[in-house]
Structure 1
Amino acid sequence: MTKIWKETGFVSDDPWIVETEETKAGSNEKAILGLDAFIDVVSTGDARELGVLIAPADDVTRLAPYVDRIALVAVAFPAFNDGRAFSHASLLRSQLGFQGEVRAVGDVLIDQIPLMLRCGIGSFAVTNATAIKRLSEGRLPGITNHYQPTARPSSDAKSYSWRRVS
């Protein structure tokens, strides 16, 4: 079971569906297409509200001409130890200026969510039972020290380990 979580809590009526050969978005749903399929559709001038799925090996900068036409970018975490989606999210925010929703999909673990938030990811397709339980209990782990600034700055300037406070 997949549940969509944002900082405001779980979302009960999320319309987004990652389209595959077997799964297609219905009339009340919105499609998330793979990068190549998304570019094919938007370059034909299709004005539907679409999302795009960025796989780890995809070049996220290919979205640059389309950032104003993207409703949602899903960044894939196929395994907990594949962190390329962190870089994709950061590039979307810092270099491409994407202001829309960035969603983590795949192997989303509770310990990584605070780091994902800092990289600009704002929603999470969570399947891990432990993560779902802890998020429903409001038990999101914190980060006390930061090693670098990100798309979402720390609220406490003293938490950056490389800054000296006199």
Structure 2
Amino acid sequence: MTKIWKETGFVSDDPWIIENEETKAGSNEKAILGLEAFLAKVAETDDFGLGVVVAPADDVTKLEPHLDRIALVAVAFPAFNDGRAFSHASLLRARLGFAGEVRAVGDVLIDQIPLMLRCGIDSFAVTNGTALKRLTEGRLPGIANHYQPTARPSADARSYSWRRVS
């Protein structure tokens, strides 16, 4: 079972559905399209408030001309050891200036959530049992020291090495 979590807690009425051949968004749901399907849709319509999922091998910069039309970008973590979605989130926030929702989908583990938050990810589609339990209990692990600035600055500027502040 997938639950959507944000720093404010679990979301009970999230309308977003990742569309594929087997799953389509219903009447009260919003579709999250794959990159190619998204690009085809924006070429033929003027719709706003769209959702797109970016796979690890996708070029996230293809979204740049359409960022004003996107409400949610889902970055895919197909395996815990595939970190390309961290780069996608950082690029979206820091270089492309995307201000909408960035969601982690796939293999979202509790230990990686603080790092995902620092990269600009602000919602999480969580299926991992341990992660669900710890988030329910409010037990999010912390990161005491940071070695580089990121899309989301630290509350404590002294936690950065070399006195770099983002």
TM-score bracket, normalised by the shorter chain, equals: over 0.9
Name the residue aligned to 2:99: 99
Aligned to 2:110: 110
- Where does residue 38 of structure 1 map in the other structure? 38
Q: Which moved more, 1:117-126 or 1:42-51?
A: 42-51
* Distance apart, 1:163 and its partner CA: 2.2
Alignment partner, residue 3 of structure 1:
3
CA distance in 2, matches of 1:71, 1:132: 25
For these two proteins, the number of residue pairs brought into alignment is 164
Name the counterpart of 1:55: 55
Structure 1 regions of 5+ residues with no counterpart?
Answer: none
In structure 2, the partner of 1:127 is: 127
> Residue 114 of structure 1: SS of its match in structure 2?
helix
Deviation for aligned residue 1:44: 1.1
- Coordinate RMSD, CA, aligned: 1.0
TM-score (structure 1 length as normaliser): 0.97
Letter in 1 for 2:49: E
Q: After the TM superposition, which of the residue ranges 46-55 and 151-160 deviates more from structure 2?
A: 46-55
Q: Residue by residue, what CA displacement relative to the aligned partner does 1:22-63 show, whole Å, maximum 9, x if unpaired?
A: 000000000000001001001112415320000000000000
- Over residues 123-147 of structure 1, what are the superposed CA-to-partner deviations in whole Å (9 max), with x where a residue is unaligned? 0000000000000000000000001
**Given that residues 48 and 70 in structure 2 are in contact (C-alpha distance below 8 angstroms), is that contact kept between their aligned partners in structure 1?**
no
Moved more, 100-109 or 39-48: 39-48
| SS of residue matched to 1:112 | helix
In 1: Cα distance, 2:157 partner to 2:49 partner: 38
Aligned to 1:153: 153
Q: TM-score, structure 2 length as denominator?
A: 0.97
Aligned to 2:13: 13
The more displaced of 100-109 and 40-49 is 40-49
Which residue number corresponds to residue 78 of structure 2? 78
Q: Percent identity?
A: 83
2:138 aligned residue: 138
Secondary structure of 2:161's partner? coil
Q: What SS is found at the alignment partner of 1:43?
A: helix
Instruction: Specify the SS of the correspondent of 2:33.
Output: strand
Q: Does structure 1 residue 26 correspond to structure 2 residue 30?
A: no
Structure 2 unaligned regions, length at least 5: none
SS at 2:162 equivalent: coil
